Every structure is written in C-alpha cells, then in structure tokens.
C-alpha cells in the first residue's frame, strides 16, 4: 500500500505538470479581439448565459446593448436590472411568437428590431452586444443571412457579440470564435413545473 507521503508527492507532481501545461497555454493565448460567441442547444441556460456575460461586462464598466428577437414574457428580470445600469434594450415586442399566425407581421417586426441590432453593431462605443434568440430569425427565414453576416463581419474590431438560440445556422457557427452547446439533460417543465419568475424569466 502506498504511504500517505508517496500519494501526496505524486499528487503534487501531477498538479505541477498540469499547472505548467495551463501556464503555457495561457502564455500562448496572446490575441486580443472582439469575439463572437454562440450559445446554442436544447438545454436551459442560453439566454441566462448571454445575460450573465452582459452583467459581467457591465460590472467591469464596459458598455453593452441587448436585442431580444422574440416576443417573450412582458417582464424580464435581466432587463429590469440592466437598464438601470445603462444597457440599452431593443425588444421585438410585437409579431413573432412561438405560435406564429401572421408571417408578414412577424417579418416586419423582425426587420424593425434588426435595424437596432445593425445600429448597435456599427457603434464602436459599445463593447458588447447580446443578440438574444437571433437564431430563430434565420430558421424562420425572417431575416436574410447575408445581412446578418455583413453586420457581424463589419462590426468594430474590439466589439464582442453573443448570439443565443436553438439550432444555430451553420454559417454563424463558422463565423463564431466560441460555440457552446447546452444539452437538455433534464428540465422541470417536463414534470409539469411551470416557468418560475426569477429563474426562467
Ligand atoms: P433561459 O432563458 O432560462 O436561459 P434558454 O434561453 O436556454 O433558457 P429558451 O429556448 O430561450 O431557453 O427558452 C426560454 C424558456 O424556456 C425558459 O423559461 C426556459 O426555462 C425554458 N426552457 C429552456 N429549455 C427548456 C427545455 N429543454 N424544456 C423545457 N423548457 C425549457
Ligand atoms: Mg433563450
């Protein structure tokens, strides 16, 4: 049997090797640029992660703006909080819903809110732009891919962008620097639990 001392020495050696690897990787990562992040997948946590990033940025004194691409609950905890900290919101308040009935009205609403997105993506005083649920505008063919692509590619070099939503278009995944896919391992809704204020919106 290994003595405690030998175990401890081995553990220390392993940790030292790990630290050397991490330090080397950190030293290699020297590029600074505006990043495009995509948070997609069927699990809960995409918008939460997007808003978490906005809160993180604002906490450092950076500037941020948010575009919400679907008509959600009237209330949104993050909006209530972040607007008080100077974060401008543009919300697709009319039109698109999950049970969409009127495609022309949806497209008009998408177009209107996208104009704000374009304004934010051209504004070099903004450090971060969150495009919450943007992916659906492409899957429903409400906005042309080329326009979104151009606005993302032409944005200020240091501006970060976070895109959330399920089934993200392949082209946006290609353009992104970081892509996370959240898996739905389990969700309370499947057991009849309704959406909870402060947790789900
Ligand atoms: P959140 O806003 O909580 O981070 P999300 O952005 O990942 O969630 P959306 O697809 O935008 O997920 O859906 C928003 C709402 O649907 C939230 O109330 C969320 O709790 C709920 N939801 C998310 N994923 C699931 C799921 N797999 N099954 C059922 N409900 C879900
Ligand atoms: Mg969401």
Name the residue of 44, 51, 55, 69 to mutate for ligand 1: max ligand atoms within 8 A of Cβ: 44
Q: What are the percentages of helix, strand and coil residues in the chain, rounded to 5? A: 45, 15, 40
Q: Whose CA is nearest to atom 21 of ligand 1?
A: 44
Starting from the CA of residue 166, give the closest ligand.
1
188 lines ligand 1 (CB under 6 A): no
Q: How many Å from the N-terminal Cα to the C-terminal Cα in the chain?
A: 54
112-121 pLDDT, tens per residue? Answer: 999 999 999 9
Q: Whose CA is nearest to atom 20 of ligand 1?
A: 200
Starting from the CA of residue 195, give the closest ligand.
1
Q: Strand 160-164 relative to strand 36-40: parallel, antiparallel, unpaired?
A: parallel
Q: Which atom of ligand 1 is nearest to the CA of 189?
A: 29
Q: Strand 64-68 relative to strand 88-91: parallel, antiparallel, unpaired?
A: parallel
Whether the predicted pLDDT of 99 surpasses 60: no
CA of 17 to the centre of ligand 1 (A): 40
46-87 pLDDT, tens per residue? Answer: 999 999 999 999 999 999 999 999 865 567 899 999 999 999
Other CB atoms within a 10 A radius of the CB of residue 13 amount to 10
């Amino acid at each position: 049997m290994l003595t405690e001392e030998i175990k401890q020495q081995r553990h220390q050696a392993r940790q030292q090797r790990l630290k050397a690897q991490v330090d080397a990787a950190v030293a290699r990562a020297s590029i600074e640029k505006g990043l495009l992040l995509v948070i997609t997948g069927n699990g809960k946590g995409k918008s939460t992660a997007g808003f978490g990033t906005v809160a993180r940025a604002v906490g450092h004194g950076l500037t941020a703006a948010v575009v919400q691409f679907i008509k959600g609950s009237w209330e949104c905890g993050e909006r209530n909080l972040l607007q008080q900290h100077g974060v401008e919101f543009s919300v697709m308040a009319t039109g698109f819903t999950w049970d969409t009935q009127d495609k022309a009205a949806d497209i008009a609403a998408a177009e209107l809110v996208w104009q704000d997105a374009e304004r934010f993506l051209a504004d070099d005083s903004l450090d971060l732009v969150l495009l919450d649920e943007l992916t659906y505008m492409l899957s429903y063919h409400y906005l042309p891919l080329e326009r979104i692509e151009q606005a993302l590619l032409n944005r200020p070099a240091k501006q970060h962008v976070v895109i959330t939503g399920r089934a993200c278009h392949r082209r946006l995944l290609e353009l992104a620097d970081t892509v996370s896919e959240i898996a739905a391992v389990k969700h309370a809704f499947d057991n009849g639990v309704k959406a909870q204020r402060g947790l789900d919106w």
